[in-house]
Chains A and B, each alone.
Chain A
């Protein structure tokens, strides 16, 4: 009897866990949809900005902005790592952290002072374990990062970059390519390389002869920080969406595994029960035969 009991106990535990992972999967799915909606709504802004940049660049202007210019010597850089606050999301955090660590080592090897800023409890504890000190940590970016929160960071980076306190800003996060593909990536956001990179051939659009107030150049200069903020915000949104997808996939796998385990465990239990019954019958028959 002892063996069958033990199997029943395990079976119950597995079923309970399956319930939990299944629920987590459903929650992640709902959150993913919400995050995705937010991300696609936010895309309108980025699209408009790049449209404006495209319109402005038709004027073929020479313009300078401190955020576009590379500093002569790169000494101080900032590496912003976006991870999640919660675990159970598969390889999401490890992917980002691996990429971040690689860039961190590259930067320190080239003799730069790297300031690490980490968002998300997972990343914070990982780096603590690695013995790398992070100068700033954030845990308030959940699955709904707001522009205001990101703006605060972005404004600080802009100010520091313009003042020359930092020479470079890298962001390690999970890039959202499509619903079925996300990849950990490290992107340099400052200095802004090419402003118009996101402007694909939109030549089909009608060309307008704009009147610029104040002037095309001044507007472009004003757009640069806005474009940077929009980009940083996009990183946060991407990370949020990818986290939910990763969790969804991980929990789906876990539920499937639990299902499989429930199957094998119940087969095992049935077999154990069967053999127990058989042996009991044999005992009875044996006992009866002995009495004759």
Chain B
């Protein structure tokens, strides 16, 4: 059954992707979710992690690192809103490591700063994990 299934990957600067896909897998705030055509409408919060989709034309796999944001499934259109999306092949392990070290070493006072630090650590860890599994 060939069903039209489209992925829109939108960042604040531009619409990064707009293409037909077969299926999509991405990281929500609490774990991974897989989406196939015909999924019930949903809105979800993304976590830091991987976004994988298979192109409808030839089934090739594309992998992106996604920096939080939102996922919206609306009929046959999936919209992914995120502040940054980087192809996994372009991730830099050394830089990610640096980010993590910086986040680990940063002193934090008060709840907000602690939260921010933890967030940065999670982010750097996700980047690091992905960049080492290119």
Contacts and interface: CB of A to CB of B under 8 A. Distances in A.
Contacts of B33: 213
B81 A38 contact: no
Contacts of B29: 213-214
Which of A44, A229, A233 has the largest count of B CB atoms less than 10 A from its CB? A44
B11 A209 contact: no
Contact of B43 (A44, A56, A151, A163): A56
B34 interface: no
B83 interface: yes
B79 interface: yes
Contacts of A48: 10, 72, 79, 81
A216 B41 CA distance: 13
A214 B74 contact: no
B95 to A, nearest CB: 14
B30 interface: yes
Given A211-B41, A219-B45, A45 B70 contact: no
Interface string A213-224: 110101100110
A219 B70 contact: yes
Nearest to A213: B44
A205 to B, nearest CB: 9
Contacts of A41: 13-15
Residues of B in contact with A, size category: 20 to 34
A242 to B, nearest CB: 18
The A contact surface, by secondary structure, is helix
A210 interface: yes
Interface of B: 10-15, 28-30, 33, 40-45, 69-70, 72, 74-75, 79, 81, 83-84, 110, 112-113, 116
Interface of A: 38, 41-42, 44-45, 48-49, 51-52, 55-56, 146-148, 151, 159, 162-163, 206, 208-214, 216, 218-219, 222-223, 226, 229-230, 233
Given A159-B112, A219-B44, 10 more contacts: A44-B10, A48-B10, A51-B72, A52-B70, A211-B40, A211-B42, A212-B42, A213-B29, A218-B45, A219-B70
21 contacts: A38-B14, A48-B72, A48-B79, A52-B43, A52-B70, A52-B81, A146-B13, A147-B11, A163-B110, A163-B112, A208-B75, A209-B41, A211-B42, A211-B43, A212-B43, A213-B29, A214-B29, A214-B45, A218-B45, A219-B44, A223-B70
